[in-house]
């Protein structure tokens, strides 16, 4: 798609302007509307939005400006301030104009405020009261359109209410890059609409509802649920992925009804993705677990009292400790917890129980030492004007959506150049300056070649871009392929560091609070704060540390499958759904003597657990969370935890005291390190941007991988690439009615050059066969998939690539047969 | 009806190549599609979007602005009867009424045989020749009731085929530029001065030499 490059606003020296008689210093190049607002004078507006280019559509911001030639009416959103400008925002002329503009806007407005979701928080309503005519002179019939039409699965458009401000359409085009809504029938019947049968299916559609200055756009999950004056709100952080968008949680009658984006300069600029925005639905699901359950004599899960469930867990733990000792206990998960919850579980596992078998990642991440120990970068640093980015991570659009929005802006406006290296094209698409395919297992070679300037001609430009950045190269690293060992990524990190020792990294791990959980110590070999277990240091408040190093999730599941794990705690983790090797997950859960699931919803793994402890969900606990940069921001409790479910922190505390720990763990202040970061739930401790974690630049020994043994490819096999989609069949999504239908079906994407010899064409079914299993799946030829690879997405309806993966292999080769 | 046929798709690519930005070819390609089908079909708009790299919504946004792109099927002949002031004073409205009864359709309608679509239009800039009528944008001046009937008869008899091609036909789309006149020889960012100035200067230089 042809991208337009808007002119960057030139920031020049400060200038003096006069606003309503007062002298004000403004930043040269600032728009007058912003300069006035910063000086305390709010100019009414509809179309202007500080995060989008001004268009001057609505004329509500007209003010009288005198630049030496006498006062003239000018739209303040289109006018950069200049030295000596005199502005009158309250003259009689301005008042008359505002009155007139509103009269025009209202001429065709249906004024159905009593049945409009926006009523009570509507800029049109508010500004009409403040600046508009008291009465309408318009007696003619108004324009009529069919009342709301669904322009996507979640968003409804009422064209009668629309004031044609161009905010939604600009957002779709300029910010999201999904120009699927547009002004149609321009002229006397201009309307916003989609192309027939091509809905506004953008991952970011919910933002248009938030920024629409009238009630023209509404979102299905909130329609007619509340009036704005019934809502109360608290500031929090979205933890559906590790971007950590700042949000408000809004509820009425103890039920969360919506999330709204909050503008954080450092993170999300006010935007959210739809998965995050509508994710609260899962917390309101009628399938929320309300009471603990234990598997009875009949083999069924039945509700029990908390004391029985906790005794059950305690006695299983005791039995394990008395039997094979602490290393027969393991804990997987924690990335859905708050920092405080994760700290409590880390302390329970490592100090009270004494096992180091803890991992917040599910075989889909990178070793914690790399995640925490690589010299770090913030989102702002990656997106800084002029920076050069080596992207060797997962698809940002599918896994870290709002980061994609930031990158898009950086590329289109700030001259950021991205070189994408990986097994499959990501949602960055035309935003990249160059794309270099790297077949599974080959990432390190390819990256090494690019940085060394040793590449085929077609990639010379990519190499040139990367090399021109020198040590200032900014690297985003993560797991683009779940069917490939993380060692291949570590090897690539090694290749970067040996070419550019000062290179810095943003580690793009997708899970919500994974970074916080790893920092809290939910990683093998690490204590809270990223201190290596081998240091022997005793964290504050801990009684002991594990005697021996434990395993990561792959190791834990392998040990469990081999019958060496007696108690396996799943802390908001669902290995059956999320672990890349399904057969191992299945065998491990079946072989563990006792599986304890701590979760708000009965996911696939919990359904087979022996003891299920209902946990509080998002919006039900106070605490902090840490995003992928290491930025700590508050998360807040807004509604009561349903049933008898408990915060996971307090579950850890209860188990600790039953196991004989002496301290009380009940309040977050008792937790090590929590005191300074805990908030009272009234809002952020330190502004919307939160605090960057101290020690972000700590160096940990990054595991080296030596010479990676990548088996040679054979002519009969393709190498499997498993990537993630934003909407899959994860429990949280399935429990969100407005998102559940959005998961696509699974297909195998093949390069046409590989598809042709097999005689397969679009839609025909093939069978993929690996040493571990086989799946039958429809195919779609796709030029962007490198030759010799086949791309299948994780956890979609239909065939499941996890059946094919053996986690112990470096890469996964599959044979293809026409089914 | 349809996406662009193979020949037109080829032509479309040639047209796109004339512009520094593929999107600039949006309107010419809509003309091309309208020429093919007589109107601008959704599939054609989607195809145009594909060819120029934008979304169908963006094509629709532009196409729907222009009255002369018909987003629904129209007859072989689009008959526009002017009812603006000059024509009205000289019988435009009576003419429209007559046209409606002669063709048996209301303004905006298409005859069942698919031959005629009747529309009343605002001033078509032929006020001195009122009442004015256009058939596929070809002018007919000072049209009285009998003139109108005769016009319809002639169109039906095929007598005007040379003058009035079927709706959508636009000779301009077919213009072929010599390679050195195509604006896209140098990308705009590489262009030191506008082509026409460069060309003018070059020819001025030549002139001076002879
Ligand atoms: S729908 Fe809302 S945001 Fe979009 S143009 Fe209309 S008023 Fe503006
Ligand atoms: S990008 Fe991530 S943090 Fe932001 S709203 Fe979406 S899921 Fe939440
Ligand atoms: S806010 Fe300036 S014209 Fe709309
Ligand atoms: S009024 Fe009919 S052509 Fe001008």
What are the tens digits of pLDDT across the range A770-802? 999 999 999 999 988 989 999 999 999 999 999
Nearest to B57 among A1, A2, A198 (CB): A198
Q: What is the mean pLDDT of chain A?
A: 92
Res A361: pLDDT:
97
In this structure, are residues A364 and A484 in contact, taking their beta carbons and an 8 Å threshold?
Answer: no
Nearest to B53 among A2, A178, A195 (CB): A2
What are the tens digits of pLDDT across the range B67-85? 999 999 999 999 999 999 9
- Residue in A closest to B69 by C-alpha: A185
- Residue in A closest to B23 by C-alpha: A2
Give the Cα separation of A616 and A603 in Å (integer): 15
Distance A383 CA to ligand 3 centre (A): 28
pLDDT at A680 over 60: no
In this structure, are residues A663 and A328 in contact, taking their beta carbons and an 8 Å threshold?
Answer: no
In chain B, % of residues over pLDDT 90: 75
The pair phi, psi for residue A434, each rounded to 5°, is -160, 150
Per-residue pLDDT band for A673 (boundaries 50, 70, 90) equals very low
**CB-hemisphere CA count at 13 Å for A650?**
15
Nearest to B57 among A1, A180, A185 (CB): A180
Per-residue pLDDT band for B197 (boundaries 50, 70, 90) equals low
Res A664: pLDDT:
60
A165 lines ligand 1 (CB under 6 A): yes
**CB-hemisphere CA count at 13 Å for B96?**
22
Dihedral angle of Cα A665, A670, A672, A674, to the nearest 10 degrees: 110
Q: Whose CA is nearest to atom 6 of ligand 1?
A: A162
Q: Which class for A706: exposed (0-12), middle (13-18), buried (19 or more C-beta within 10 A)? A: exposed
Query: Domain coordinates of chain B in residue numbers?
Result: 1-72+177-210, 77-156
Mean per-residue pLDDT, B122-140: 95
Mean per-residue pLDDT, B1-22: 90
Distance A78 CA to ligand 3 centre (A): 8
Least confident among A135-139, A303-307, A385-389, A651-655: A135-139
> How far from A492 is each of A190, A486, A643, A809, B27, CA to CA, in Å?
53, 10, 48, 17, 48
Chains A, B: CB contacts within 8 A come to: 50
Catalogue all structural domains in chain A, each as residue range(s) with its CATH number.
14-90 (3.10.20.740), 293-365+513-678 (3.40.50.740), 370-507 (3.40.228.10), 717-818 (2.40.40.20)
In this structure, are residues A441 and A484 in contact, taking their beta carbons and an 8 Å threshold?
Answer: yes
Mean per-residue pLDDT, A757-770: 88
Distance A242 CA to ligand 2 centre (A): 7
B56:A195 CB<8 A: yes
Give the Cα separation of A246 and A232 in Å (integer): 17
* Closest listed ligand to the CA of A156: 1
B61:A183 CB<8 A: yes
Least confident among A424-433, A806-815, B89-98, B179-188: B179-188
pLDDT at A380 over 70: yes
Give the Cα separation of A174 and A55 in Å (integer): 12
Q: Domain spanning B77-156: which CATH class is it, in words? A: alpha beta
Convert A38-66 to b/e letters by CB count within 10 Å (16 or more is b): ebebebbbbbbbeebbbbbbbbbbbbbbe
Q: Pick the atom of ligand 2 nearest to A261's CA.
A: 5
Contact residues, chain B, for A184 at CB < 8 Å: 57, 60-61, 64
Q: Which residue has tokens 């532009």?
A: B62
Give the Cα separation of A355 and A565 in Å (integer): 11
At a CB cut-off of 8 Å and minimum separation 6, what does A454 contact? Answer: A448
pLDDT at A298 over 70: yes
* Closest listed ligand to the CA of B84: 4
B95 lines ligand 4 (CB under 6 A): no
Nearest to A184 among B23, B53, B64 (CB): B64
A182:B21 CB<8 A: no
Nearest to B53 among A1, A183, A187 (CB): A1
pLDDT at A405 over 60: yes
Contact residues, chain B, for A178 at CB < 8 Å: 55
The pair phi, psi for residue A376, each rounded to 5°, is -95, 165
Q: Which class for A596: exposed (0-12), middle (13-18), buried (19 or more C-beta within 10 A)? A: buried
Res B152: pLDDT:
97
Mean per-residue pLDDT, A223-241: 95
What are the tens digits of pLDDT across the range A315-329? 999 999 999 999 999
Give the Cα separation of A571 and A605 in Å (integer): 11
Res B192: pLDDT:
66
At a CB cut-off of 8 Å and minimum separation 6, what does B180 contact? Answer: none
Distance A88 CA to ligand 3 centre (A): 16
Nearest to B55 among A179, A193, A196 (CB): A179
Task: Provide the H-helix boundaries in B38-185.
Answer: 42-52, 56-63, 85-89, 92-103, 145-157
A276 lines ligand 2 (CB under 6 A): yes
A185:B53 CB<8 A: no
Q: Which of A300, A284, A162 is nearest to A222 (CA)?
A: A284
Res B135: pLDDT:
96
Q: Pick the atom of ligand 4 nearest to B124's CA.
A: 3
pLDDT at A523 over 60: yes
Q: Whose CA is nearest to atom 2 of ligand 1?
A: A212
In this structure, are residues A635 and A615 in contact, taking their beta carbons and an 8 Å threshold?
Answer: no
pLDDT at A2 over 80: no
Q: Which of A336, A386, A225, A239 is nearest to A573 (CA)?
A: A336
Task: Provide the H-helix boundaries in A603-751.
Answer: 604-607, 648-658, 731-734, 737-740
End-to-end distance of chain A based on CA atoms, in angstroms?
A: 36
What distance in Å separates residue A176's CA from the closest CA in chain B?
A: 13
What are the tens digits of pLDDT across the range A556-595? 999 999 999 999 999 999 999 999 999 999 999 999 999 9
pLDDT at A479 over 80: yes
At a CB cut-off of 8 Å and minimum separation 6, what does A451 contact? Answer: A463, A466, A467, A495, A496, A499, A500
Tokens read off for A603? 């996911």
Give the Cα separation of A150 and A155 in Å (integer): 6
Classify residue A701 by its DSSP letter.
-
The pair phi, psi for residue A550, each rounded to 5°, is -100, -165
Q: Which residue has tokens 């956890």?
A: A795
Q: Which residue has the higher pLDDT, B168 or A33?
A: A33
What distance in Å separates residue A179's CA from the closest CA in chain B?
A: 7
Least confident among A365-374, A464-473, A601-610, A693-702: A693-702
On whether the B1-72+177-210 domain is CATH 1.10.10.1590, my answer is yes
* Closest listed ligand to the CA of A508: 2
Give the Cα separation of A60 and A105 in Å (integer): 10
What distance in Å separates residue B148's CA from the closest CA in chain A?
A: 31
Tokens read off for B107? 């303004």
Helix (H) or strand (E) holding A371: helix A368-373
What distance in Å separates residue B72's CA from the closest CA in chain A?
A: 13
Distance A549 CA to ligand 4 centre (A): 91
- Residue in B closest to A178 by C-alpha: B55
Dihedral angle of Cα A281, A286, A287, A291, to the nearest 10 degrees: 120
pLDDT at A6 over 70: no
Distance A42 CA to ligand 4 centre (A): 48
Q: Which class for B17: exposed (0-12), middle (13-18), buried (19 or more C-beta within 10 A)? A: exposed
Q: Which of A133, A160, A132, A136 is nearest to A146 (CA)?
A: A160
B58:A196 CB<8 A: no
Distance A30 CA to ligand 3 centre (A): 15
In SS3 terms, A288-318 reads as: ECCCCEEECCCCCEEECCHHHHHHHHHHHHH
Res B181: pLDDT:
60
Mean per-residue pLDDT, A9-18: 76
Concatenate the DSSP letters of all residues of A160-201 into one string: TT-----HHHHIIIIIIS---EEEESTTTT-EEEEBTTB---
A179:B54 CB<8 A: yes
pLDDT at A398 over 60: yes
| Strand-by-strand arrangement of the A149-150 sheet | A149-150, A155-157, A217-219
Q: Pick the atom of ligand 3 nearest to A78's CA.
A: 2
């Amino acid at each position: 798609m042809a991208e337009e490059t808007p002119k960057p606003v030139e920031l020049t020296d400060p200038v003096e302007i006069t606003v309503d008689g007062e002298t004000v210093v403004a930043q040269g190049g600032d728009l007058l509307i912003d300069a006035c607002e910063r000086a305390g004078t709010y100019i009414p507006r509809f179309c202007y939005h500080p995060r989008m280019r001004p268009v001057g559509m609505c004329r509500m911001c007209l003010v009288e400006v005198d630049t030496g030639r006498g006062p003239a009416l000018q739209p303040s959103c289109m006018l950069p301030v200049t030295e000596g400008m005199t502005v009158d925002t309250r003259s009689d002329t301005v008042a008359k104009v505002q009155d007139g503009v509103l009269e025009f806007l209202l001429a065709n407005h249906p004024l159905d405020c009593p049945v409009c979701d926006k009523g009570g928080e509507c800029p049109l309503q508010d500004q009409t009261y403040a600046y508009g005519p008291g009465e309408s002179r318009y007696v003619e019939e108004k324009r009529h359109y069919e009342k709301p039409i669904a322009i996507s699965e979640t968003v409804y458009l009422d064209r009668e209410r629309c004031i044609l401000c161009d905010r939604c359409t600009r957002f779709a085009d300029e910010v999201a890059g999904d120009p699927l809504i547009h002004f149609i029938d321009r002229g006397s019947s201009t309307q916003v609409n989609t192309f027939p049968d091509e809905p506004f299916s953008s991952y970011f559609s919910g933002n248009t509802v938030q920024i629409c200055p009238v009630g023209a756009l509404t979102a299905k999950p909130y329609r007619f649920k509340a009036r704005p004056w019934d809502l109360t709100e608290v500031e929090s952080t979205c933890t559906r992925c590790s971007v950590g968008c700042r949000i408000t949680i809004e509820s009425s009658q103890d039920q969360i009804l919506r999330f709204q984006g909050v503008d954080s300069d450092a993170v999300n600029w006010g935007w959210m993705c739809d998965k995050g925005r509508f994710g609260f639905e899962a917390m309101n699901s009628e399938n929320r677990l309300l009471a603990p359950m234990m598997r009875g004599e009949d083999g069924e899960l039945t509700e029990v009292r908390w004391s029985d469930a906790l005794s059950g867990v305690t006695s299983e733990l005791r039995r394990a400790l008395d039997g094979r000792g602490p290393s027969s206990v393991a804990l997987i998960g924690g990335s859905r917890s708050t920092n405080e919850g994760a700290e409590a579980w880390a302390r329970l596992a490592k100090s009270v129980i004494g096992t180091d078998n803890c991992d917040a990642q599910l075989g889909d991440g990178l070793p914690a030492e790399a995640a925490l120990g690589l010299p770090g970068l913030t989102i702002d640093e990656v997106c800084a004007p002029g920076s050069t980015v080596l992207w060797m991570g997962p698809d940002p659009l599918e896994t870290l959506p709002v980061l994609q929005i930031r990158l898009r802006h950086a590329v289109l406006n700030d001259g950021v150049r991205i070189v994408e290296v990986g097994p499959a094209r990501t949602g960055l698409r035309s935003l990249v300056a160059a794309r270099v395919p790297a077949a599974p297992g080959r990432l390190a070679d390819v990256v090494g070649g690019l940085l060394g300037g040793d590449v085929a001609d077609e990639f010379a430009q990519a190499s040139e871009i990367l090399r021109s950045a020198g040590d200032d190269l900014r690297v985003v690293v993560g797991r683009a392929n779940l069917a490939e060992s993380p060692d291949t990524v570590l090897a690539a990190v090694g290749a970067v560091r040996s070419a550019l020792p000062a290179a810095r990294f943003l580690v793009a791990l997708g899970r919500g609070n994974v970074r916080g959980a790893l920092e809290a110590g939910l990683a093998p070999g690490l204590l809270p704060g990223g201190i290596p277990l081998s240091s022997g240091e005793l964290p504050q408040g801990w009684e002991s540390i594990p005697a021996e190093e434990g395993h990561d999730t792959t190791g834990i599941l392998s040990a469990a499958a081999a019958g060496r794990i007696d108690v396996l705690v799943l802390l908001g983790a669902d290995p059956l759904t999320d672990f890349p090797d399904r057969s191992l997950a299945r065998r491990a859960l079946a072989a563990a003597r006792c599986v304890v699931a701590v979760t708000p919803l009965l996911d696939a793994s919990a359904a087979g657990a022996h003891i299920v402890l209902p946990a509080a969900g998002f919006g039900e606990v106070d605490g902090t969370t840490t995003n992928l940069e290491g930025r700590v921001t508050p998360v807040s409790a807004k509604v009561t935890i349903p049933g008898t479910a408990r915060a996971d922190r307090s579950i850890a505390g209860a188990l600790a005291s039953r196991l004989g720990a002496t301290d009380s763990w009940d309040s977050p202040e008792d937790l090590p390190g929590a005191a300074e970061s805990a908030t009272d739930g009234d809002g952020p401790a330190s502004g919307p941007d939160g605090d960057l974690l101290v020690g972000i630049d700590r160096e940990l020994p990054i595991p080296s991988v030596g010479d990676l043994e990548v088996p040679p490819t054979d002519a009969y096999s393709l190498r499997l690439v498993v990537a993630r989609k934003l909407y899959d069949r994860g429990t949280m999504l399935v429990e969100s009615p407005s998102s559940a239908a959005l998961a696509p079906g699974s297909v195998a994407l093949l390069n046409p050059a590989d598809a042709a010899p097999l005689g397969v064409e679009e839609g025909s079914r093939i069978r993929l066969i690996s040493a571990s299993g086989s799946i039958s799946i429809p195919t779609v030829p796709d030029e962007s998939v490198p030759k010799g690879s086949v791309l299948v997405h994780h956890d979609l309806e239909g065939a499941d690539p996890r059946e094919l993966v053996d986690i112990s292999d470096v890469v996964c080769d599959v044979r293809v047969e026409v089914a | 009806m349809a996406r662009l046929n193979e020949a037109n798709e080829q032509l479309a690519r040639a047209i796109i190549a004339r512009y520094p930005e593929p999107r600039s070819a949006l309107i010419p390609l809509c003309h091309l599609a309208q020429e093919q089908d007589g109107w601008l079909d959704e599939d054609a708009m989607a195809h145009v979007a594909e060819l120029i790299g934008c979304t169908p919504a963006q094509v629709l946004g532009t196409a729907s602005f222009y009255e002369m792109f018909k987003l629904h099927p129209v007859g072989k002949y689009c008959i526009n009867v002017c009812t603006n002031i000059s024509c009205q004073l000289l019988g435009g409205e009576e003419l429209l009424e007559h046209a409606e009864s002669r063709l048996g359709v209301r303004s905006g309608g298409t005859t069942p045989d698919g031959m005629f679509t009747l529309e009343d239009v605002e001033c078509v800039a032929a006020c001195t020749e009122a009442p004015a009528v256009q058939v596929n944008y070809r002018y007919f001046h000072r049209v009285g009731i009998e003139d109108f009937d005769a016009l319809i008869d002639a169109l039906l008899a095929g007598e005007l085929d040379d003058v009035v091609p079927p709706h959508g036909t636009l000779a301009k789309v077919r213009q072929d530029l010599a390679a050195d006149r195509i604006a896209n020889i140098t990308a705009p960012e590489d262009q030191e001065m506008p082509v026409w100035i460069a060309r003018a200067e070059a020819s001025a230089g030549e002139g001076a030499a002879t």
